[in-house]
Structure formats: C-alpha cells, structure tokens
Amino acid sequence: MARRRNRAGVFESAPGGGAAITLDEVEISILRSLAVQLLELVGPGDAAGADDDPLAQLFAEGPSKPPDDPALARLFPDAYEDSEDASEFRRFTENDLRARKREDALSMIRVLDSGGPRLTLTPEDSRHWLGALNDLRLTLGTRLEVSDDEGSELFHLPDSDPRKPLVMAYLWLGGLQETLVETLMG
C-alpha cells in the first residue's frame, strides 16, 4: 500500500534516510517555543571552557548532586541506587548529557527556522529531533505529574482546566515522536 504524500503533522520518509513533515505556522511556533524553553531549563553550558584544552574538557567535573527541579531530575536521573556511586557517575557524565540535550534542541530550532511548512530532516537531524521530542515529553509529563495510573484522568480534562494546553502539547509531541520513529524504522 502506497503512503500518501505531504500529510500534515505526520513524519514521512525523505530522500537519504531522513524524514519530512508539514507543519503549519502555529505548530512551528509551538515547537520552537518548547525547544527554547528546554534550552533554558537545561542551561547554557560552560561557555568559559570553550577555549580550554580538549583533554581538560574531557575530564571536567560536573555536579555531584541531583537537580532540585523535578523536570531536570527526570532528564538527569541517578544512574545508581547507591548515592555515592550515583554522585560519582553524575560528576563525570552530566555535563555531556546536558550538551547533548542542548544540541538536540538547537538542531530542532535550526530546522524549524529553515522555513516551512515542509521541513526536511537529515538522518542526523532526525536523531536530534527524537532526543528533543523525548526530552520535551519527559519535561511536560513531569510538570503534569503524568504516571501510568493518573494519565487517563489528565486526558479527560475540561477545556477550562489550565493544564489542558499542556496535556494537548504532551499528546501532540507523543504523536510526532511516534510517527518519526515509525518513519525511521520503516
């Protein structure tokens, strides 16, 4: 069965192994705004270290404690149950994780700023978008306190509930993520 071309809001295969999607101006604006907010949440990184020795950058130590913000704690969870092991692991990995999350969000912004409504992602852009979409969903899900038990309640909120736009964004991002995965796997 042949796929329909140019379906709005659904990723499709693009030449060279990437993906393409048609988004309207509002959707582009929402995604861009969310990606910028993600950049602000993750933080700017260590700009002072840009000129440092690459070997020193490789061994730069990061934070040893989990973030206080629940969304950041979800994006940068402890890798070990033992707090000492978790602290050591975090010190040597969190800076790289933050850099990757920033690059994912920046890649999304670059593609969104390239002009639409038809956006074409390279295979590398697609990987960055998967990361950014996942991070955005984790962040929104944490802010909404989504869990397997509570999710169904959130999906039936009245329009007057102030959480409704965030729930709609959460669901929409999930749909984008799902069609991007399906496109790249298919």
Residue 179 belongs to some domain of the structure = yes
pTM: 0.86
Q: How many domains does the chain have?
A: 1
Q: pLDDT tens digits, residue range 23-41?
A: 999 999 999 999 999 999 9
Contacts of 162 (CB under 8 A, 6+ apart): none
Residue 5 belongs to some domain of the structure = no
Residue 102 structural domain: 12-185
Residue 3 belongs to some domain of the structure = no
Alpha-carbon gap, residue 74 to 80, rounded angstroms: 14
Which residues of the chain are under the pLDDT cut of 70?
1-6, 45-60, 148-151
Contact, 47 vs 148, CB < 8 A? no
Q: pLDDT tens digits, residue range 142-153?
A: 999 887 655 578
Q: Which of 45, 93, 34, 36 is nearest to 66 (CA)?
A: 93
- The first and second tokens of residue 125, run together, are 């852009």
Residue 70 belongs to some domain of the structure = yes
**Alpha-helical runs (H) found in the chain:** 25-42, 54-58, 70-75, 83-113, 123-144, 151-154, 164-185
Residue 1 belongs to some domain of the structure = no
Alpha-carbon gap, residue 114 to 51, rounded angstroms: 29
Residue 57 belongs to some domain of the structure = yes
